[in-house]
A and B are shown apart, each in its own frame.
Chain A
Amino acid sequence: MAKILVVDDSASMRQMVEFTLKEAGHDVTVAEDGQVALNVAKGKASDLVITDVNMPNMDGITLIRELRALPAYKFTPILTLTTESATEKKMEGKDAGATGWIVKPFNPEKLLATVNKVLG
């Protein structure tokens, strides 16, 4: 069981990811934008962060930069949720310190496969 922080402004996406990960036995915290996620992250460590890129208030790229500046999140795997068209977005995420990405659209199986890839 891992502690996973899921950040997405879309409620359906958030629910789907949350549900899938919980079914797999993980401890999931959700946040609807980068700012909320950052506040959560400051209060507790996570084993994995999954974040959308395009969000109001604070986007995913900024969130990743802010998270990497927190000692507890220096090496935490961070995956971005991106659409396949956004190749440069993947790279932007990487440059900000993301570990990798999950390409949208994805199904629960693919999500879990990718998550298992980064969980120790």
Chain B
Amino acid sequence: MAIDIGQFVQTFFEESFEGLDIMEAGLLALSPGATVDLEQINTIFRAAHSIKGGSGTFGFREVAEFTHVMETLLDRMREGRMPVTRDAVNTLLESVDCLREMLVAAREKSPVDANRVEEVRERLSELLDAKEAPPGDTGGKPASAAKSPSAQVAGWRIRFRPYPQLMHSGNDPVRMFRELADLGELTARADLGRLPRLAELQPEDCYLAWELELRGAVSRDAVAEAFAWVEGDCELEIEPLAGDAPAPAATAVKAPETAAVPPPADPKPGGPREEGQQGELMLERRKGEDRRRGDRRASVAAADSGSSIRVGIDKVDAVINLVGELVTTQSMLSALGEDFDMSRLDKLHEALDQLDRNTRDLQEHVMRIRMLPVSSVFSRFPRMVHDIGGKLGKQIELRINGEQTELDKTVIEKIGDPLVHLIRNSLDHGLEPPDERIRAGKPETGVITLDAYHKSGSIFIEVGDDGRGLNREALLRKGLDNGLLRAGEEYSDEQIYDLIFHPGLSTAKQISDVSGRGVGMDVVRRNIQDVGGSIQIASRPGKGTRITISLPLTLAILDGQLVSIGQDCYIIPLLSIIESVQIRAGEVNRIPGRGEILRFRGQPLPILRLYEMFGAEGAVTDLEKGLLVVVEADGRQVGLFVDDLQGQQQVSIKSLEKNFRRVAGVAGATILGDGRVGLILDISGLIRTNNAAI
């Protein structure tokens, strides 16, 4: 029977990568030198063991061999035969990385960096050799004792005398005999000598013994294999059949050996049979390769769309429930529609209300399927903090809270890099070296906190440290030097701290290889803004710094304010709107080089005539006849001039870039209730283009 095991390989990869994460987290939680948490090591061991077993089965021999070395090391730690040292933990962590690369390479069918693998493997072996020389079980397998001259034997005589409890392990002599009978011509003679009288007979015990003769060109190992499982449960003698056996002398030499049970540790009994099976296996594999080649295009396509998420069954059930309700509503409506008259108008309204509710619930629950816990991003940080802390010679504790907070998958994917950057900054610049901390009267170990929580429709992620805080003076000086600030003016802390998001501004005394030269914080802010979020910074000298990122729950739906400009309808994200005002004559000044400015609550507010930007025809051009929507992004306000406000509604965002091309000032498009397309405005983009124009 041909079974393609390729279909399980995907599962194997998924669980292996999960296993690697478990190993990594487990290794990081091990504290070298302290009492070993046995369960911890067990968990790591089990993960390694599963990867090894799976990779062997699914044909990734190199992975299996590599994992075997790791497993051996872990096994010794588990049994207390080897201390848990920092060095060992670090080497194991590196092995985890290495293994991850090997698995990725295996999945992508790309070459692996063999030198690196070899190097890490050698380090592992060194650890093994160093810590335990004597009972080296590495090469110590009892040499598969003297291969018997299987060539010309006529057959075997087998004396098999089971101990009474043989069948208690589920073994059955009949099955073993059947296996032997498959190998050659078998005759069996039972010895009833030990059979007690019926009254004394224990029905569950085995009293019989057998003398078997197996005729045919069968190897000794094949015979022994039939009895491999009952080695400890019987007396067994296997000797060549006399008679037409080739050389009696040889038989005599062999005799003492045959008295004993075959060597217990021979890993693979049954040479020839085994070979036959491996031959089949190779054939099987070749067939598999052919098939794979044919499927290559399909598999590339699959890899493209291959990103998948795991969804809790409760979420899926909730959606199915709602679809059920929707179907009920639908049938209610179609029943109403069959012979409708005005007397049933109330019923129609009721049904439509219900449809509205169903749709909204369904939308909310379907969105929830895309939500992932932030732990999927946070999980990489313990390792990073461990590694970088070690490199910088700082002692650091990472405290993570709220890792179960859920966020849209797309947002999750986009915030990884910014968070890495922020944490690196805290590690490198924020936290002081131990001696400096002691001088400042702080505990030697620095603390970095990573919090995620949900507040009023947004998700907040905070990166905090208890380090030295931002250097206000240095920032102020830099700001003045670069002309970003004006001398003599008063600036709030916020305004000054905000400077670190400015491109090319770094106050780090020296450039380290951990975090770069101040490029980056501007990129961090831009990345966060790209997913519709914002970033704030708070800092106290000597106490630490806290950076707060706020993110929208989802990217696919937004609460919008519909506005009309000429014949067209545009959508302004509701969250960015401050208020809408009517302009009275004389409030607007034209300032050369800065466009039209409205004096608004004591502040100058630039006016953006949207109809000009978008070339809309038939729009209101008289400022007093339209409306000004005041919006804010990146801490700056601008007034958008529109004809009129229409309703507010949730709109689903369709990518304009994917269907057309990127348009400055437009975040996307949506299809409105009446079937028209409405463009969704990108407020921070609009403000940027407006500034550039001026």
Contact = CB atoms under 8 A, between A and B. Distances in A.
Interface string A68-96: 10000011111001011101000100100
Nearest to B228: A100
Contact of A109 (B15, B171, B228, B280): B280
Contact of B175 (A20, A101, A120): A120
Contact of A23 (B1, B14, B55): B1
20 contacts: A12-B12, A16-B5, A54-B46, A54-B50, A56-B46, A75-B204, A78-B169, A81-B53, A85-B68, A94-B229, A99-B171, A99-B229, A104-B57, A105-B53, A105-B64, A107-B5, A108-B3, A112-B1, A113-B277, A120-B175
> Majority SS of interface residues in chain A?
mixed
A83 B171 contact: no
B264 interface: yes
Contacts of A75: 167-168, 170, 204
Contacts of A78: 169-170
A110 interface: yes
Contacts of A94: 169, 229, 232
Contacts of B171: 77, 99-100
Interface of A: 9-13, 15-16, 19-20, 23-24, 52, 54-56, 68, 74-78, 81, 83-85, 87, 91, 94, 97-101, 103-110, 112-113, 117-118, 120
A107 B284 contact: yes
Given A23-B1, A97-B169, A99-B229, A12 B46 contact: no
A118 B5 contact: no
Contact of B281 (A91, A104, A109): A109
A16 B170 contact: no
Contacts of A108: 1, 3, 5
Interface in B171-212: 171-172, 175, 179, 204
Contact of A12 (B58, B169, B204): B58
Nearest to A97: B169
Q: Say what secondary structure dominates the interface of chain B.
A: helix
A74 to B, nearest CB: 8
Nearest to A49: B170
B277 A109 contact: yes
A68 B170 CA distance: 9
A75 B14 CA distance: 37
Q: Which one of A68, A87, A112 has the highest number of Cβ atoms from chain B below 10 Å of its Cβ? A: A87
Contacts of A12: 8-9, 11-12, 15, 54, 58
Contacts of B268: 84, 103
A87 B264 contact: yes
B256 interface: no
A10 to B, nearest CB: 4
B366 to A, nearest CB: 26
Cβ-closest 6 pairs across A and B: A105-B56, A100-B229, A99-B170, A12-B12, A12-B11, A105-B57
B221 to A, nearest CB: 15
A44 B68 CA distance: 37
B179 A10 contact: no
Instruction: Select the residue from A12, A24, A112, A120 with max chain B CB neighbours within 10 A.
Output: A12
A98 B169 CA distance: 5
Contacts of B3: 19-20, 23, 108
A105 B284 CA distance: 15
Given A16-B8, A94-B232, A83 B52 contact: yes
A85 B64 CA distance: 12
